Structure 1
């Protein structure tokens, strides 16, 4: 069996519609449609690395749903809990890219009036696994929120560790929101129970400040009753972490050129869970390499590396 944990990835699978660098994906052409969504990205990243993984989510009965079905089959991602929706389409996210490859989520396409399939995720029986990986976006719609909270209860009852990637995206909660806006009081109240139940929490610096008024992983760990492992990322700045009693930081690896940063954080998460049995610093270093390598190609899934590729990459850097 491969290194790492057996993981159930719960959440959204969608299309990232990447606009031309410096352009608007809603109107400018050409656009580049890439399969994505944080939990789907992590599932595919784990499978590429060699960790057994199942994806739990809901897609439309459409071309996007079929594309994901093929992708998951090719990667070896389990799909026994992949739901399909005959009424609602799969979600398309409009992604604006800067000339430097940085991205901003600015809205959606494809809604035909009934919402998106991921919003209608139904409750399910959680399979046995070592980890349940979740985000917060399913909380933005009542039906999918109920399914997520049911899964968290099941995980707790089964003794399964919960990994939470906060992944705050205001447009999922309010399609008219400023893409840079922080969480509302209602969103914070919905997300707080997840923060208090997770064994591992990954946050961007701004998310850490919004929820904890601190971006210090040790302070965040102390602020929560379960004393979780905490990782705080900040784009190209060093990753800071508190894993148990161990702490430190890891500088980002540099690539000759950055094509697209979409999915870098998800590749990091996949690498972290894949190498969870290793020493703290090794886990983080491996995860950082996974995140960096994804930035060398377009989209969050296609450029994901194998374990051998990550090891070769790490062997060539100091």
Structure 2
């Protein structure tokens, strides 16, 4: 099982009503939340860990999880309101967000909300995004990761910083924190834009090597229209790397594309029996390329839809067939 932990919020996505008037649609979201939905829709066992409001937005969030095969036994409920994220979309640009997080339920996750131990079938914990910028949730998740690694050193920890500069008050302190979270992780999934923010004076390959030097086994970089690139440290100390393209599609928007990629990549590892520290460091170049291609396929499909709507396995098969990708 994979556990995704962190924020669960409501994306207020812009659109128009039937008369053409501008409106905002409330869509369940949040990076780790979307990643959990992506994993669940692809049929891999997954649970979400976090704190959700008892308000009607909280009900919307938890219902979407249960409808998409995501276990909710690690969720605690609170009386605080749900976090809102208003989205601004512009053609050819990354979505921009305005977050309303003050005193919200998901950011109020405390150590007493956590399970004392994890079931034996948990093989991966995924974390990151804005939850690591807010209190008290950030320290709660960091403590949870450290304790879980101590209890089970074979766990695969997968981290996605999902950088949101508008929430970062001290860039140097944030970079230091990101590097400490990378040291806790086996997998670091990161966008090219995030790499540029963290290491503006280092080229892409240099930045990948810098993260690998912190201790992760694998760094995966999403490159937008260029696809994705990965570099892996194998058990014998050698490195392999590969790059895989996206499928060219008409883009509705890119909301949830990175989260879908991350979820699909983790689902591939889980379903192929590769979700362990030893199996990860023993991946062949062909296997790594296959995992990247699978994740790119899922991310490409979600870009044809409005909002974070990850595909099911059946939808991926149909998508492959339409684009002549069955071989």
Return the TM-score normalized by structure 1.
0.84
1:239 and 2:228 matched = yes
- Tell whether the 8 Å contact from 2:32 to 2:129 is kept in structure 1 after alignment: no
- Give the aligned partner of residue 164 of structure 1: 159
- Tell whether the 8 Å contact from 1:20 to 1:97 is kept in structure 2 after alignment: no
Shift of residue 164 of structure 1?
0.3
Tell me which of 199, 206, 219 is aligned to 2:186.
199
SS of 2:71 mapped into structure 1:
coil
- Give the aligned partner of residue 184 of structure 1: 171
Shift of residue 54 of structure 1?
0.6
1:222-253 alpha-carbon deviations (Å, 9 max, x no partner)? 422x2420111122223111133331111121
Unaligned ranges ≥5, structure 2: 234-238, 275-286
- Give the aligned partner of residue 290 of structure 1: 298
Unaligned ranges ≥5, structure 1: 1-5, 22-27, 175-182
1:153-203 alpha-carbon deviations (Å, 9 max, x no partner)? 1221112110001101133445xxxxxxxx611212222210112100011
Tell me which of 86, 89, 111 is aligned to 1:94.
86
SS of 1:30 mapped into structure 2:
strand
- Give the aligned partner of residue 107 of structure 1: 98
SS of 1:20 mapped into structure 2:
strand
Return the TM-score normalized by structure 2.
0.82
1:251 and 2:258 matched = no
SS of 2:204 mapped into structure 1:
coil
Q: 1:163 to 1:227 in 2, by over 3 A?
A: closer
Shift of residue 145 of structure 1?
1.7
Q: 1:170 to 1:151 in 2, by over 3 A?
A: same
Tell me how far apart the structure 2 counterparts of residues 46 and 310 of structure 1 sit (CA, whole Å). 13
- Give the aligned partner of residue 178 of structure 1: none
User: Quick check: which one's helix share is greater?
Assistant: 2
Count of residue pairs brought into register by the alignment: 290
1:223 and 2:213 matched = yes
